[in-house]
Structure 1
C-alpha cells in the first residue's frame, strides 16, 4: 500500500508539473515532430482585424521556446476563438530570430494554398531566409513550392524541433517525409526571394515525379533545370546579376525504375538515368495560373519581400508537356548516361551521374568518375556522348547484353559486386562517406566512332592497370546493334525493354551452363547464381553466371592448349551466341 501511495504521489507531481509548464506535449522529444507546437496551455494569442470587416485576419502567438509566430487568414474563416490558423489556405510566419519581424531575415514562412476551393491545400510555398543578407545569392535561403497533384495532402517537411526545412529526412532508407512519392512535383531554388528577379520562374523548374501504376510511388522522375546565367564578368559570379534564371532549360535528367520493383521499404529504386545538356529550350509559354494565393493586401507589410504573395501564375513545364519539350524542342550538345549496376541507389532524384574523368581516382572532387558528391563511390556504370552524336538513343550490346548509350565516346563501370559502398541516397551526408581502396573496373571505348563500343578493357584485380583488352573487331564480332529511340517511349516501354534484356540475359546464362557442362565444368560451385527470383536477379545473376563460366572455360581450354576452342569461346561470349558452341 505504501508503494502504491508513493507511485500515486509521483504521478500527481509529474502531472502537476506538466500542467504548470503548459508546453505542448511533443516538444523536443526524441520522436518525429510532425506539427508546429501550439502555444502553451494558458497562453492567450492576440487576434487582430486588419481590414476592418469585424473578423480576425491575423493571430499573433508563440510556439515552443516562446518563438513568436503569426498566422494570416487567407480564406476568411478565422474566428475570434482560434489560437492557430489552418493548413488549407492560411499563411504561417515564424520569427525564428525573435527580432519582432515575422517575415524577415532568419525567418521561415509556410503558405498553404487551396487553388480549387475544395477545402484542402493544393500547393505549399516555403520561404526560408538566411540569418543575414551576405550579398551572395547562392546558397542563401530557400524558395520551394510543392504541388500536391495526387491530393494526398503531403507537402514539405519541417523539423519543428529546429524550425528548419528538412526535405531530405526519411523513414528507413528512402521513405521521405517530403512528398516525392506518387504523382507530384516541386519547384525550388537555394536562394532568397529578394535575390530573384522573376518569382514566376525557378531553378529546379520543376522536379516531376510520375506514378505510372497508381501505387502512390514514383516510377519515373524528371529534373528540369533553368541554370543561373553569368552575364557580367565584371561582377562577382555569385552576385544578383549573375545568378538569375531566365526561362530557358539547359539541363535535364530522366530517371527510370526500369523493372518497377519499388514498394514499401524500397520506395525509390531507379535503375537508369539519362541526361541532356546544351542550349535546351525556352519554356516561357508554359504558364500555369494560380488561384487563391493572393491574401489581404494589407498584410504585405509583414513580409520583407511580398512579391511571391502577389503572383497569379507560375511558369514551368508540367507532366504532360515535359517529355515533348525535352525531345522535340530541346537543343542538346551532350548526353550523360548512368546505370545502377549494384542496385543500391535509393535517391528520390535519380541515379547520380558519373563524370567523364579518371576511372581510378575516387572521392568527392577527387578527379575520378565519382567526382560528384552524390554519386556512388563504386558500383555504377557511366557513359558519355560529349557531342550528342547519338541523339539520346540506346542499344543493347552483344558483348554484355546490357543497355548502352549510342554515340558515347567511352564509358566506365566501377564494380561493387556486393554493394559494399554507398547503399543509400547520399554518401556525404551524416558521415556515410566511404571510398573503396581497391575495386575492379571495366572501360568501354568506341574506337571507330560509329556510335558503338568496340574496345573493352578489364582491370579485375584492382591494380589500376587493364590486364585484359578485348577488341571486338579482332575476334570477328560486329559491334553494330539495333538502335532504341526512347523519344516516343511511355513508361511501359521502359519496363518491357528491361524485361526483354533480363530474359535474354538469363536465357544466355542457361545456354552458358549447357556449354560449361558439355565441357565437364563443375557448375555446382555457382549454385547461388543459378537461383533467380526477379527480373533484377535475372539481369544481375545472368551476367555474372556467364562471366564466371566464360572464365572457367577459358582456363580449361588454356590448360589443354586448345587454341581453336579459345577462339570460338571468345567469339561466342562477346557476341552473345552460346548456341555456336552447342552445335
Structure 2
C-alpha cells in the first residue's frame, strides 16, 4: 500500500510509459507568467505536475496576453502531444495558438478558439527546443490568461488520455460528489436532499414558503425547508427556538444548508454561533462546496464579529463575490476572518491563503485603524501585510483610510504554542493564529525581507477603480526592486513611497525623520517616491532615498526633477537629520502619537515657506486631511520654486535664480529657518516690502 501511494505522483508524469517532458524536475524552465497570489514563493505552478489542487487564487500561473507562456526544454526534444489545463473555476475560455521553437524560429502547431478547461494538442512527432502558448483573446474583460498546467510528451499512442488527465478527471468526480461527510448535517441530508420525494417537494415550494420537519418527536420544528433566491434551503434549528405556528429560521445560532442549482447536492452551508448568549451572531462558518472561489476543494471561511455590531459579510445569492459584495461587508472595527481548505491527503481543514485576515479598532470608534493579513498554508506563512491608519483620519463616511503598510516575506513557521483551532460540526479546523495575539506574534517572526509602502497623497485606491474606493484590505504593494506584489489589487507606484529592508534588519520598525517630516522604515537600504503632481498618471519627479553608512537610517536624498532616471541634485547627511529617536515597533498608538505631531509640524513649516513666497495657505489644516493637504502644498511650493528659477534665468538674473535654488535646497533638506531667512533676503533684494 505504501509503495503504491509513492508511485502515484510518478505515474502522473508519464504517458504510455513516456515522461512528461515539460516538468520542472526534468529541467524544463517556464517564462512569461507568474504564480497566482496564493502560490507566491512556490515553484512555477504551470509545470509542477499538480492538476488536482488549484483554485481562483492558487495552483496556477497567470500572465498578460503580451507575455506568452514559454516552456524551454533542457535540450532539443521530440514530442507529439501537449496537454494544457486552463483555469476552469468558471466558464472562461481563450483564443490561443500553440507554437514550437525549431532553431531560432517559432512554428505554428495548432490554433484554437474559445478553448477552456483541459485542452490536448496532438501532432506529428517533431523535434523542438521549446513550446509557446500565445493567447490572443478570451471571454474575460481583462487581457490576461490563467494556466494550471502544461505537459508535453512523445508517446506511442497520443490519442489515449495521460495519467495526468486521469488524475484531473478523478479530482473532478470527487469535487462533483462534494464533501457532504465533512458537514455534520446528516439530518438535513436524510430528510430532504437524499430523499427524492422530499427534495422534489422542496423544489416545488414557492419563494418564501416555509414548512417544518419534526425529527425528534417533540412537536416543534427541527428542520425548516424554504425556497430563497431560487435555492432550496434547509435550516437546522440548532438552538430549538423556532415557533411551530410560523417557522422562522434565525441567523444567530442556526445552520443553513443551501442547494443553489436544485440538483440535490448542497453547495453552501452557513453555520452561525451566538458565543456570548446575547441573541445575535458572533461567529460564522461558511462552507463552499460547489460554484465557489475555492476551486477544486471544499472551502471554509471562519468569520468573527469581535465588536458585536451584528454585521459580518454581505453575500450575493449565498456567495461572496468580491466585486459585488466587498463594500457591503464589515471589514472595519474589531473583525476578522480566516480561510481553510479541506486537504484530502490529511483529511483536515488546513489554513490557506488569507489565514488569517484581522482588523483592529484600538480606539473604539467603530473604525479599523489596523489590518493584519497573513498568507500561507498550515503553519507555514509566506507573507505578512500589516497596515495602519497612521494619522487616524478615517470617518464614518470613509471608514477605510490606511496610510501605510509593512509587507514582509517568509517563509516562516508559526510556533505550535501560538496557535489555536476551532471546533466544527465535524472535527476541528487546522491551527491558526488567533486575533487576540496576532499583532504581537507576527513581529517576533524571522521574516526575510520587509517593504514599507506609504500612501503620500491619502488616496489608497485601485488605479483601475472608477469609483475610487479606498481599499479595505490596507495598502497593497506593487512589485518593487525584486520584492513581489502581495495580494491585489495593487495601489500602484504613483504618489506612493516604497522602502526596502532587504534583510529585515530593522525588524518591522519605523522611525521619524525631521528632514522630510515623514516616518521611514528602519533598516531600509533604499527607497523611492514617485511624484505625479498633476494626476495625469505619469511621474513628474522622483525622489530616491539611500542609507549610505548602514546605520538603518536614510542619509542621502537624490532628487530627479524631470523623472528621467538621472538625479539633478543629491544631498547627504543633512543637519536636520539629527537624532531620529527610538525606532518604533508596530503599535498603532505609538505610531499615531509619533506621526501626528510630525505631520502637523511639517505642515506648519511648509505653510510658513508658502507665506514667504507670497503664496499663503488658504485652507485651514483643521478643515482637510492633513496628509493630502501637505502633499498638495509640497507640490505647489516646488512648482513655485521651479517657476521662480526659470523666470529669473529667462530675465538673465542668474543671482536671483541661484537664490531661489538655495532656498529650494534648504527647504528640501528640512532647514526651514534657513529657507525663510534666504527667502527674506531675496525679497529685500527685489525691493519688496
TM-score by shorter chain over 0.5: yes
Relative to structure 1, the CA distance from residue 571 to residue 414 in structure 2 (aligned partners, 3 Å threshold; closer, same or farther) is closer
Aligned to 2:384: 252
> Can you list the C-alpha shifts for 1:476-520, whole angstroms capped at 9, x where unaligned?
658675154222x54332222222222221232134246xx4xxx
Relative to structure 1, the CA distance from residue 114 to residue 311 in structure 2 (aligned partners, 3 Å threshold; closer, same or farther) is farther
User: Out of 525, 549, 566, which is 1:409 matched to?
Assistant: 525
Long gaps (5+) in structure 2: 1-203, 461-469, 678-689
User: Is 1:452–1:479's contact at 8 Å kept on the other side of the alignment?
Assistant: no
1:153 aligns with 2:301: no
Aligned to 1:574: 668
Q: Matches of residues 141-540 of structure 1 in structure 2 within 5 Å?
A: 142-160=299-317, 163-166=318-321, 169=324, 176-189=327-340, 191=341, 197-199=347-349, 201-225=351-375, 227-228=376-377, 245=378, 247-288=379-420, 308-311=424-427, 315-327=431-443, 329-345=444-460, 346-357=470-481, 373-376=489-492, 378-417=494-533, 436=537, 440-461=541-562, 465-473=564-572, 481-487=579-585, 490-513=587-610, 517=612, 521=613, 523-524=614-615, 533-534=623-624, 535-540=626-631
Q: CA deviation at 1:112?
A: 0.8
Aligned to 1:64: 229
1 CA distance for matches of 2:363 and 2:487? 35
Relative to structure 1, the CA distance from residue 139 to residue 262 in structure 2 (aligned partners, 3 Å threshold; closer, same or farther) is farther
Relative to structure 1, the CA distance from residue 76 to residue 40 in structure 2 (aligned partners, 3 Å threshold; closer, same or farther) is same
Aligned to 2:282: 122
2 CA distance for matches of 1:334 and 1:491? 21
User: Out of 192, 203, 206, which is 1:40 matched to?
Assistant: 206
> Can you list the C-alpha shifts for 1:403-427, whole angstroms capped at 9, x where unaligned?
222222322222233556xxxxxxx
User: Is 1:342–1:418's contact at 8 Å kept on the other side of the alignment?
Assistant: no
User: Is 1:401–1:501's contact at 8 Å kept on the other side of the alignment?
Assistant: yes
1 CA distance for matches of 2:308 and 2:499? 38
Q: CA deviation at 1:222?
A: 1.3
Where 1:332 maps in the other structure, the secondary structure is coil
Aligned to 1:298: none
Relative to structure 1, the CA distance from residue 196 to residue 203 in structure 2 (aligned partners, 3 Å threshold; closer, same or farther) is farther
Aligned to 2:634: 543
Looking at both structures, which has the greater relative contact order when contacts are Cα pairs under 8 Å and sequence separation is at least 6? 1
User: Is 2:526–2:547's contact at 8 Å kept on the other side of the alignment?
Assistant: yes
Number of residue equivalences: 462
Where 2:448 maps in the other structure, the secondary structure is strand
User: Is 1:143–1:193's contact at 8 Å kept on the other side of the alignment?
Assistant: no
2 CA distance for matches of 1:275 and 1:371? 10
Where 1:576 maps in the other structure, the secondary structure is coil
Cα RMSD of the aligned pairs, angstroms, is 3.8
2 CA distance for matches of 1:274 and 1:280? 16
> Can you list the C-alpha shifts for 1:296-332, whole angstroms capped at 9, x where unaligned?
xxxxxxxxxxxx42246774333432222122x3112
User: Is 2:207–2:227's contact at 8 Å kept on the other side of the alignment?
Assistant: no
Relative to structure 1, the CA distance from residue 53 to residue 201 in structure 2 (aligned partners, 3 Å threshold; closer, same or farther) is farther
Relative to the length of structure 1, the TM-score reads 0.69
User: Is 1:334–1:387's contact at 8 Å kept on the other side of the alignment?
Assistant: yes
2 CA distance for matches of 1:342 and 1:274? 18
1 CA distance for matches of 2:372 and 2:249? 35
User: Is 2:224–2:235's contact at 8 Å kept on the other side of the alignment?
Assistant: yes
1 CA distance for matches of 2:535 and 2:607? 25
Relative to the length of structure 2, the TM-score reads 0.59
User: Is 2:532–2:538's contact at 8 Å kept on the other side of the alignment?
Assistant: no
1 CA distance for matches of 2:205 and 2:497? 53
Q: Higher strand share goes to which structure?
A: 2
Q: CA deviation at 1:96?
A: 1.2
2 CA distance for matches of 1:546 and 1:439? 14
Relative to structure 1, the CA distance from residue 284 to residue 506 in structure 2 (aligned partners, 3 Å threshold; closer, same or farther) is same
1 CA distance for matches of 2:570 and 2:514? 13
Relative to structure 1, the CA distance from residue 553 to residue 401 in structure 2 (aligned partners, 3 Å threshold; closer, same or farther) is farther
Aligned to 1:433: none
Aligned to 2:20: none
2 CA distance for matches of 1:180 and 1:193? 28
Aligned to 1:11: none
User: Is 1:399–1:573's contact at 8 Å kept on the other side of the alignment?
Assistant: no
1:110 aligns with 2:260: no
1 CA distance for matches of 2:486 and 2:445? 27
User: Is 1:529–1:541's contact at 8 Å kept on the other side of the alignment?
Assistant: no
Q: CA deviation at 1:287?
A: 4.9
Where 2:589 maps in the other structure, the secondary structure is helix
Relative to structure 1, the CA distance from residue 564 to residue 177 in structure 2 (aligned partners, 3 Å threshold; closer, same or farther) is closer
Aligned to 1:75: 239
